[in-house]
Chains A and B, each alone.
Chain A
Amino acid sequence: MFFKKYGDFVVGIFYAVLGIALIIGAKALPKSKVMEIGPDFMPTLVGVIILVLAGILLVETFTKFKANAAELEASGFKDTSDYKRVLGSLVSAIIYVNILKPVGFIVSTLVYLIIQIYILAPDNKRTKKDLIQYAIIDVVFTVVVYFLFRYGFKIVLPGGILAF
């Protein structure tokens, strides 16, 4: 609901802020001494274009806001997205990429995969039998990928605490 109703506003404001930040950021960059345009030229240009377009979007959204909101009410739209699963997946993925190096590929992947599959699995697919199946897939996949990369493609993935 939020995204449908206020989405374009948020986008417009975000880009307006981004444009201003770019222009300010570019001001801080050193000017080129040898030629007409230095490293600050492109960011400034892009910043200005973004700011103008964001302005147009905001004005457009503002003038149409009432009509759109009424239309949305009438359509009876409901957001059925399951944000619990999205957030869970995101958090586990973020943790995974951050422990990949210190803990090592094998251990972190073993842990991550089973958790991620469990988070994504529909409610009726979380029985004990399913879990055993997931665990087997997890172990086989991790080991195969590690050794395939190590010996097949000559790419050594981070060993971490289980280095060999």
Chain B
Amino acid sequence: MNALAQLGAAFLGVCQPVSIAFMVAGVAIGIIFGSIPGLSASMAVALMLPLTFTMEASLGMNVLVAVYIGGISGGLISAILLNMPGTASSIATTFDGYPMAQKGQAMRALGIGIVFSFLGSLFSFFVLSFFAPMLADVALKFTPVENFGICFFALTMVAILSSGNMVKGLLAGLFGLVFCFVGMAPIDGTPRFIFGNQDLLAGFNQLTTLIGIFAVADILISAEEMNAKGVQTIPVTKVKGFGFSMKEFISWLPGALRSAIIGTGIGILPGIGGSTSGMLSYVTAKNMSKHPETFGQGEPEGIVATECANNATIGGAMIPLLVLGIPGDGVTAMMLGGFLIHGLSAGPLLFVKNADVVYGIFAACMVCDLIMLVVEWTCIKAFVQVLKVPKHILMPLILVLCAVGAYATNNRVFDVQSIIVFGIVGYIYHKFKLPTTPFVLCFLVGSMTETYLRRGIMSYKSFGAFFTHPIFDFFWFVACGVLIWSVFKEFKAAQQKKAAAKA
């Protein structure tokens, strides 16, 4: 009950007019940064940090939290409307969000995405408020071995993703792994497959790859039939409220809860991140669904799963950040810096010494979440105006934005050039009917898998020693089970088809 009382007191502190006004501004700035690919949440936090210097410590931290939350959730807007993931976390949102927008359901898709982003974060903040110290202990139990288990598990999800045409799906995914090898190898830094090109040494950037394979490829694909179809604009059906009924909402809730748990769980583990949690939750939703074939065609449950999970990762990621002082990725590292500047030293003693500040942050998280919901919802109508621009004008503008975004990530022209390379890959995939989803999943998880595998072997000498870790065993055997089961199902389906053809 103590936590509840402190949280209540913190809410009173956060809900001052001045602080609310600053948080609204922070969330809005975060959303802008989040929705433009290349401008990440960590850049938004870095840019806002100096502005908070002169503020009171608590106000400064509230603003940083606001920018962070806005930055993560903003990615869904461009993912749904333009098929261009604004942040790496929102890749899986494009799978179903963009088809929905193409069918004229852009407002509904945005409404669903926003509401479930809100619920996902809210869930994770409650977990954060009440169980943070306990869960931090779990995070400490995760060695590279366990992380390798999770990565391997994520990789086997490709088999589920590509059911129906498994061989091609797996090949499509493995090509993504090949791109991970380019650059310096993990641990020892041996240059691999760089063909004497210095730019390749750092490898391919995640976001530029995603921009290329989705947005740039999309431009080439739509160029195919631009003339035949004449001037095209995407219709937008107006909706009331958030665009879904209470009945639909209730039917999505179990899936949302599962996704939120996945998201929070993955968030707690430092170094895995929102993009993986969104993908994992999407695949799980597809696998658990009674109608998996609708996923990828504009299935609302796909958006529910991803948005819930990637936003729940925020609360999860703050657990090791606050309790142990371990930042999981770029954004949280930036946040840690911000907290330090405002005199808060994250670490085990935080909950004992600065309990009031910690609960202040929790309260700010929840309030910012609500602000995010209100701000994005009021702006839906403005967002969908983008779709009124005819495609032959919109597409080139998107390409320029992609190029700028790719340049902004690292200030390298090489990244801009690589979006075109991946655009070509995406187009060729489309032409040869290879699915892009496995490619993306493998590309995201590939380098992590190798890093953890080799780090694990470095610490425990042999692969056999991995099996003494029960958490690893669990993921490993579930993954193997999934793999065998998928192959079996595929084989059976092929035989049925053969029998049907004969009859």
Nearest chain-A residue to B216 (Cβ)?
A93
Q: Do A116 and B404 touch (CB < 8 A)? A: no
Partner of B227, one of A54, A122, A149: A122
Interface residues on A, range: 35 or more
Q: Do A141 and B168 touch (CB < 8 A)? A: no
Partner of B404, one of A34, A42, A122, A157: A157
Instruction: Answer yes or no: B385 CB below 8 A from chain A CBs.
Output: no
Instruction: Answer yes or no: A30 CB below 8 A from chain B CBs.
Output: yes
CA gap between A17 and B231 in the complex, in Å: 42
CA gap between A137 and B392 in the complex, in Å: 12
Q: Which residues of chain A have C-beta atoms less than 8 A from B177's C-beta?
A: 42, 46
Q: Do B181 and A81 touch (CB < 8 A)? A: no
Q: Do B433 and A36 touch (CB < 8 A)? A: no
Q: Do A112 and B224 touch (CB < 8 A)? A: no
Given contacts A18-B175, A50-B171, A122-B392, contact A141 B397 (CB under 8 A): yes
Closest approach, in angstroms, between the C-beta of A46 and any C-beta of chain B? Answer: 5
Partner of B224, one of A25, A83, A109: A83
Binary contact readout B216-228 vs A (1 if CB under 8 angstroms, 0 otherwise) = 1001100111111
Binary contact readout A4-24 vs B (1 if CB under 8 angstroms, 0 otherwise) = 000110110001001000100
Q: Do A18 and B178 touch (CB < 8 A)? A: yes
Closest approach, in angstroms, between the C-beta of B153 and any C-beta of chain A? Answer: 17
In the complex, which residues 393-408 of chain B have their Cβ closer than 8 Å to any Cβ of chain A?
393, 395-397, 399-401, 403-404, 407-408
Q: Do B404 and A149 touch (CB < 8 A)? A: yes
Partner of A82, one of B225, B393, B434: B225
Q: Which residues of chain B have C-beta atoms less than 8 A from A50's C-beta?
A: 171, 174, 178
CA gap between A25 and B178 in the complex, in Å: 12
Main secondary structure of the interface of A (DSSP, over half): helix
Q: Do A97 and B192 touch (CB < 8 A)? A: no
Q: Do A120 and B226 touch (CB < 8 A)? A: yes
Nearest chain-A residue to B186 (Cβ)?
A39
Q: Do B420 and A80 touch (CB < 8 A)? A: no
CA gap between A49 and B167 in the complex, in Å: 11
Q: Do B450 and A101 touch (CB < 8 A)? A: no
Instruction: Answer yes or no: A1 CB below 8 A from chain B CBs.
Output: no
Q: Do B178 and A22 touch (CB < 8 A)? A: yes
Q: Which residues of chain B have C-beta atoms less than 8 A from A122's C-beta?
A: 226-227, 229-231, 392
Instruction: Answer yes or no: B423 CB below 8 A from chain A CBs.
Output: yes
Q: Which residues of chain B have C-beta atoms less than 8 A from A7's C-beta?
A: 431-433
Q: Do A86 and B220 touch (CB < 8 A)? A: yes
Q: Which residues of chain A have C-beta atoms less than 8 A from B33's C-beta?
A: 153
Closest approach, in angstroms, between the C-beta of B327 and any C-beta of chain A? Answer: 23
Q: Do A112 and B185 touch (CB < 8 A)? A: no
Q: Which residues of chain B have C-beta atoms less than 8 A from A153's C-beta?
A: 33, 39, 43, 47, 408
Nearest chain-A residue to B188 (Cβ)?
A39
Interface-centre pick from B185, B228, B401, B416 (highest chain A CB count, 10 A): B185
Nearest chain-A residue to B187 (Cβ)?
A39
CA gap between A158 and B219 in the complex, in Å: 24
Q: Do A35 and B458 touch (CB < 8 A)? A: yes
CA gap between A149 and B39 in the complex, in Å: 10
Partner of A97, one of B393, B396, B420: B420
Q: Which residues of chain B have C-beta atoms less than 8 A from A37's C-beta?
A: 453-454, 457
Instruction: Answer yes or no: A127 CB below 8 A from chain B CBs.
Output: no
Q: Which residues of chain B have C-beta atoms less than 8 A from A53's C-beta?
A: 167, 170-171, 174
Q: Do B190 and A11 touch (CB < 8 A)? A: no
Partner of B167, one of A60, A101, A109, A123: A60
Given contacts A46-B178, A157-B407, A158-B413, contact A123 B432 (CB under 8 A): no
Known: A37-B454, A122-B227, A153-B43. 13 other contacts (CB 8 A): A3-B433, A7-B432, A8-B168, A53-B171, A82-B226, A85-B224, A90-B220, A93-B216, A97-B420, A100-B407, A105-B404, A122-B392, A149-B404
| Listed A/B pairs (8) with beta-carbon separation below 8 Å | A89-B223, A98-B417, A100-B416, A116-B396, A117-B393, A120-B223, A155-B408, A157-B404
List the 9 closest pairs (A to B, CB-CB), nearest first. A39-B185, A120-B392, A116-B396, A81-B224, A39-B190, A85-B223, A101-B413, A121-B392, A86-B223
Q: Identify the B interface with A (CB < 8 A).
A: 33, 39, 43, 47, 167-168, 170-171, 174-175, 177-178, 181, 185, 188, 190, 192-193, 216, 219-220, 223-231, 390-393, 395-397, 399-401, 403-404, 407-408, 411, 413, 416-417, 419-420, 423-424, 427, 431-434, 450, 453-454, 457-458, 461-463
